[in-house]
Amino acid sequence: MIRADGTRAKGGGKVVKTVAGFDLPKLMCGSWGTLGMIATVTFRVHPLPEASATVVARGLDAAGVNELVSAVRRLQVEPAAMMAVRRESYEVWIRFEGFRAGVEQQRGKMRDLADATWPSGEPAGNVRFGALPTQLPQVEQALGGGFCWYPTLGLGLAAVSSPDNRRFAAFGGWIGSPPPSSPELHQAVKSRLDPDARLPRLSQ
């Protein structure tokens, strides 16, 4: 990365324990140019999975989605992705990827659910929102209509023309853009890396 004063800095490495002081790669991710300019990046890549399988549970309510997530954790399976789609009720799609034997074993643990295919295309929605994964009932009440929800992450997408963050803030959630979780800490890091305020300021 190029720091505000033009100094080149580097972070990360080929071994795991290379963090001394600031963890520059994590600081730069999502900093939107407020801490420095990313000049070079190195990505770790993985091969495509040997096999994949998806199961779906239909006709659930919000409580049922939370119960299903808890059941998946109790079964100690490791889905590559989970997505809940709300229309009249919820459909929860659970995808497994990896070596064929592992995929078949995990799908076998989920044998009470029907096989299905992963939905094609992007989830419907143009506005991001978030809350605690257990707060799906509150999210449902705040949005009212259909949306897509990632139940293990507490993130979702919805087609909303005028997001009302007040309804989400009432239970600690957000819609539109997440507020900074610790603005004082962000500003302290900004002051260390850009003391002369040459780079863009942190958004409030």
Domain ranges of the chain: 1-45, 51-175
Bridge partners (DSSP) of residue 94 are 55, 82
Q: Are 199 and 33 in contact (CB under 8 A)?
A: yes
d(CA 91, CA 84): 5
Q: What is the pLDDT along the chain (204 residues), one digit of tens a residue?
A: 999 999 998 887 666 555 566 678 888 887 888 999 999 988 888 899 999 999 999 999 999 999 999 999 999 999 999 999 998 899 999 999 999 999 999 998 888 766 666 665 555 668 999 999 999 999 999 998 899 999 999 999 998 888 888 999 999 999 987 766 677 888 888 888 899 989 988 665
Amino acid (one-letter) located at 171:
F
| DSSP per-residue string spanning 94-136 | EEEEESHHHHHHHHHHTTTSEEE-PPPSPPS-SEEEE--GGGH
Q: In Å, how far are 4, 12, 28, 158, 190 from 196, measured between CA atoms?
A: 8, 26, 18, 40, 10
- What is the pTM (predicted TM-score) of this model? 0.72
